[in-house]
Amino acid sequence: MAATEIPQAKSLVCVTSYTNDKGKVVHRNSTFSNVKIDSPVQNLMDAGLAIFNLKSEALYEMQTVLENKIVNA
């Protein structure tokens, strides 16, 4: 039997960047789960930018995380 992956869940991770009191650059992750698995990348980018335009921290990067279930096919 051959193993195959079945998409189960997708999350959007927005990484922010700020400088702390000691002058060190710190990165922090904000994870938004339950994203539609078939969401277009541009929609995710637009949503992330809209959310972080309301915050004082700078948006450093965005990532998607896809969770798969492995089954025998």
Domain enclosing residue 12, as ranges: 3-72
User: What does the pLDDT read at residue 55?
Assistant: 84
Mean pLDDT of 15-24: 92
Mean pLDDT of the chain: 93
Mean pLDDT of 17-36: 93
Better pLDDT: 73 or 44:
44
- pLDDT band at residue 30 under the 50/70/90 scheme: very high
Closest CA to 31 of 5, 4, 3, 67: 67
- pLDDT band at residue 4 under the 50/70/90 scheme: very high
Total number of domains in the chain: 1
Query: Is 46:39 a contact under the CB 8 Å cutoff?
Result: no
At residue 56, φ and ψ (nearest 5 deg) are: -90, -15
